[in-house]
Amino acid sequence: MSNKLNRADLEGLKTAYLQHLVLRNLSALSVKQIEQALRIFMGYLKGRGINDAGALDAEVFEQYKAHLADGYVSRRGKPLAVNTIRERLLIAQRWSKWLRKKGVLFFDPLAAVQLPRHRKGFPRGVMRPDEIRKVMELPDLNMPLGYRDRTMMEVLYATGVRCAELLNLRIPDLDWEKKTARVRNGKGGKDRFVPLTSQCCRFLERYLNEIRPQLMEVMRPSGRLWKQKAGTGGDKIFVSLYGGPLSKNWLAMTMKRYIDRAGVTRPVSPVHSFRHSVATHLLEDGMDVRYVQVLLGHESINSTQIYTHVERATLHRLLKEHHPRELARETPQPFKIEEEAHAAA
């Protein structure tokens, strides 16, 4: 393959690398994110007159790192987060390493460049159990679309699946006997099995038997392209009111409306907040972090550990709210040595 790759054709090298990732069964979302990062990197290189992969060196890459940190802003006009910068640099390094492996480069010029340290932040938008309950009570279960939306919430909160994972769930992925769902091609291109709660199974069963068939028959036209999309949901579990696939943007906007109506005023990620919430609640109720890791599909337990920090923060809050010594509201009495020191002063 190496003799077919031209190191002076950056676009061709990018395309070949993306094809390699597709063959490795990487998810479409991951490939799209990698393509975007490489496109930005190559745009920077071309802006500096570099059109040959052989001209890459550590100095150029260090300058690109500084450019991302100081001179690059997002679409919203804000500087990039440290973890975003790290991820973009890491993608470029992996691409360079692949070029070396394929013989396009004689050595990997980007390998020695140090990346910014990964910063672990608290999960954004963990909802309390009572807030989850308020959100779930909002869909009208007497209406097909309301019942579908409630079923999606039940699956999100029962399994902690990501947005794309939920929308890609298919009917054959459900195992009613074992009460599990197979999440195909999750993050990193890996499959996993997630358990379903009894409540979730009840909603899913009625939805699939009564509600989804109505949606597949095109309940109501929506949008200009509904005819082309009508009935195209295939065997996906959740479909639109015209039987077509649902988009991530639609799901995010729909969940945000419910969350706003429930009175949750602090910032939350509309779909991911269910994932953060179930992980936090399970840890607070005593589930081992290793089982939560498997449920969420984290490759490393370090990714799951962030929820233990939320658990501790909740523990401190509950301690202040319920511990007898906190509720006493006693005025602290100074020690005798403190009184003597104060008198001497």
E strand spans, the chain: 174-175, 180-183, 192-195
**Which among 35, 249, 282, 322 has a CA at the least distance from the CA of 157?**
282
Model confidence, pTM:
0.62
* Residue 98 burial (CB count, 10 A): 17
| Dihedral sign from CA coordinates of 134, 152, 294, 37 | negative
Task: Using the predicted structure, report yes or no on whether residue 264 has a pLDDT greater than 80.
Answer: yes
Candidate list 150, 212, 236, 272, residue with the active-site label: 272
229 annotated active-site: no
Strand order in the sheet with 180-183: 174-175, 180-183, 192-195
pLDDT, the chain, mean = 80
**How much is the average pLDDT of 47-72?**
87
Candidate list 148, 212, 236, 275, residue with the active-site label: 275
Can you give the pLDDT at residue 18? 92
Candidate list 148, 236, 281, 298, residue with the active-site label: 298
Task: Note whether 7 and 56 are within 8 A (CB).
Answer: no
162 annotated active-site: yes
184 annotated active-site: no
Can you give the pLDDT at residue 304? 46
187 annotated active-site: yes
Q: Which residues pair with 146 in a beta bridge?
A: none
- Spell out a b/e string for 73-86, using b for 16 or more CB atoms within 10 Å of the CB, else e: eeeeeeebebeebb
DSSP code for 111:
T
Residue for token digits 């699939």? 208
Candidate list 7, 65, 148, 162, residue with the active-site label: 162
Task: Using the predicted structure, report yes or no on whether residue 329 has a pLDDT greater than 80.
Answer: no
**Residues contacting residue 153 through CB under 8 Å, at least 6 positions apart:** 135, 136, 139, 255, 258, 274
Candidate list 187, 212, 236, 276, residue with the active-site label: 187
**How much is the average pLDDT of 167-179?**
92
What domains are defined for the chain? 2-101 (1.10.150), 129-322 (1.10.443.10)
Distance of CA 330 to the CA centre of its chain: 45
Distance from C-alpha of 186 to C-alpha of 192, rounded to nearest angstrom: 8
Candidate list 147, 207, 242, 307, residue with the active-site label: 307
Residue by residue, DSSP assigns 31-73 as HHHHHHHHHHHHHHHHHTT---GGG--HHHHHHHHHIIIII-B
Cα distances from 174 to residues 200, 206, 260, 277, in angstroms, run 12, 14, 31, 23
44 annotated active-site: no
Can you give the pLDDT at residue 148? 95
**Which among 122, 118, 125, 106 has a CA at the least distance from the CA of 57?**
106
Choice between 286 and 268, residue whose per-residue pLDDT is larger: 268
Distance from C-alpha of 270 to C-alpha of 150, rounded to nearest angstrom: 14
pLDDT tens-digit profile of 199-256?
999 999 999 999 999 998 876 665 666 667 777 788 999 999 888 889 889 999 999 9
Confidence of residue 277 (pLDDT cuts 50, 70, 90): confident
Can you give the pLDDT at residue 271? 84
Task: Using the predicted structure, report yes or no on whether residue 121 has a pLDDT greater than 80.
Answer: no
